[in-house]
Amino acid sequence: MIEGKGNRESNDANPRVRFAPSPTGRLHLGSARTALFNWLFARGSVGTMVLRFEDTDRERSRVEYEKDILDSLKWMGIDWDEGPDVGGEFGPYRQSERLPLYREYAEKLYEAGIAYRCFCAPEEIQRRKEETIRKGISWRYDRRCLTLDDASVRRFEEEKRPYALRFKVPEMSVKVVDLLRGVVQVDSSEIDDFIIMRSDGSAGFHLAVVVDDITMNITHVIRGDDHLTNAVRHVMLFEAFGAKPPVFVHHSLLMGPDGAKLSKRHGATSVSEFREQGYLPQALVNYLALLSWSPGDEREIFTLNDLVREFRIDNLSASKAIFDFDKLNWLNRQHVKLLSSEELADAVIPFIESANLFEILNLPREKLIIAVESVRNNIEKLTDAIEPIRIYTAKPGDFSSKALEELKRSPDVRRALEICIDILGTEREADESAAEKIVEGMRESAALKDWKPKRILWPFRLAVTGSTVGPDLKFLIMFWGPAGCAERIRATLKVLDNLGI
């Protein structure tokens, strides 16, 4: 056992947690859920949230993926106290910038006889592995380099043969104490001597993670249960460095509806894809939190502040978490309902921009808000607003073929439209109350003529919008104004004149 540099102590009152993604792809929903659990635990317990990038995979790590992770977390409302973009006392926060530290810790293990040089070439190990498996024997590194004589070592050194450093796994029973799963006990005979420093000079995953957790004073490690087997190796390294292991919490993985790990074949899997598809961040966060966590009652709608206040790490479940797209859609609709008109407009604007609906974008803000509010009931995802909102780009006197046929078939259509013009009047603006009174006036006029309300309201909709579908009539009056609606009806009457109706 050797002494590490960290001053780490488990402190439940002020925990330090970390989210450590690899920037080798866009932020996966499963990783986002892990980040959320860490963040909720930290924010609910006056703790510290650390973000660090495990970017030692030189071939697959990309700057654009790092940016996607940062942007996706911020979009979800997750922030951090220390990280590559904000700095902190225990940086740097990219593993690629911490290699001297890893070499220092690896050298200590080597000097203590807890690690040894492995001169085996990867292709040589692969050949021996295949031969062993062909004989029906399970493969573990055969420790060939552990017993090399001095002459062989000198010869390899003279040849400048590359070597890796392997951790010499001790004979012992390894205990991983997990908050959700209790004590997981593994005999070390099941684990081969793993690489802690690669032959190219880069750190192995296990060493880098443990050194980072020690030197960053991490007290709690909350991650997916696919890391449970890694935790066995990590416990051995913590103990080799004379450090107390953190509190482990290995939550369940995110599964698709078929029970298999959530992947592309199930649909979108990255946070940015769900953002692009029109999901609200608060809905996605709400749903991810409910996958493996429960407040203890039947509530399902939570804001981020609600979650911070009520989340408890010991309420997590180890059971499988099945991702249900229909349930997410339902939650998104509920969160859309909670938005004010202004908030909904701001949320929809990026999708209006993507659809190049400049006629809508260039509207005065109050008109844009009315347009978006009028299609609220159509919205399950924010992208659902785009098609119905196009109705506000229609030019006076332009009709769909179906709308025109409906106008032709409407009885007393000219008289109905003239009544609408009289009721609308000359006011340029109308608030919701005034618009509702105008619609009610149309109903009353129909009743006075012993007509059903539709006999006036239907031609009104067709004339003003040029379509057979659209928002509630009050929104049309609020958007175009009473006088504006009247002008659109007059344009329709000219069309009817040209058709001889």
Are 72 and 27 spatial neighbours (Cβ–Cβ below 8 Å)?
yes
**Residue 160, pLDDT above cutoff 70:** yes
Question: Active-site residue numbers?
Answer: 264
Mean pLDDT across 42-54:
96
Bigger pLDDT: 464 vs 131: 464
Q: Which residues share a beta bridge with 186?
A: 174
Mean pLDDT across 222-249:
96
Bigger pLDDT: 10 vs 296: 296
Distance CA 31, CA 69 (A): 10
pLDDT at 10: 42
pLDDT at 196: 97
**Residue 251, pLDDT above cutoff 90:** yes
* Sequence-distant (≥ 6) Cβ neighbours of residue 17 within 8 angstroms: 38, 41, 42, 47, 48, 49, 50, 218, 219, 220, 221, 222
**Residue 260, pLDDT above cutoff 60:** yes
The continuous run of DSSP H or E covering 285 comes out as helix 281-290
Q: What b/e readout covers 321-359, taking b as 16+ CB neighbours within 10 angstroms?
A: bebeeeebeebbbebbeebeeeebbebbbebbeebebee
**Residue 11, pLDDT above cutoff 50:** no
Residue 166 identity = R
Mean pLDDT across 100-113:
97
Residue 464 identity = V
**Residue 338, pLDDT above cutoff 60:** yes
**Residue 367, pLDDT above cutoff 70:** yes
Are 5 and 108 spatial neighbours (Cβ–Cβ below 8 Å)?
no
pLDDT in tens, 181-212: 999 999 988 899 999 999 999 999 999 999 99
The Cα-based distances of 123 to 120, 128, 212 in angstroms read 8, 9, 30
* Sequence-distant (≥ 6) Cβ neighbours of residue 113 within 8 angstroms: 168
Distance CA 31, CA 253 (A): 9
Burial of 455 (0-12, 13-18, 19+ CB in 10 A): buried
The Cα-based distances of 492 to 22, 442, 463, 475, 501 in angstroms read 60, 18, 6, 19, 11
**Residue 454, pLDDT above cutoff 50:** yes
**Residue 5, pLDDT above cutoff 70:** no
pLDDT at 193: 95
Expressed in angstroms, the distance from the first to the final Cα of the chain is 97
**Residue 4, pLDDT above cutoff 50:** no
- Confidence tier at 12 by pLDDT (50, 70, 90): low
The sign of the dihedral angle between the CA atoms of 392, 395, 401, 407 is positive
Neighbours of 32 (CB within 10 A): 24
Bigger pLDDT: 338 vs 315: 338
Closest CA to 28 of 258, 284, 324: 284
**Residue 129, pLDDT above cutoff 60:** yes
pLDDT at 3: 53
Q: Please list the alpha-helical segments (H only) found in 291-400.
A: 304-310, 325-338, 341-354, 358-361, 365-374, 386-389
pLDDT at 9: 44
Distance CA 287, CA 325 (A): 10
Cis peptide preceding 15, ω within 30 of 0: no
Distance CA 354, CA 196 (A): 48
Read off the tokens for 374. 């009028």
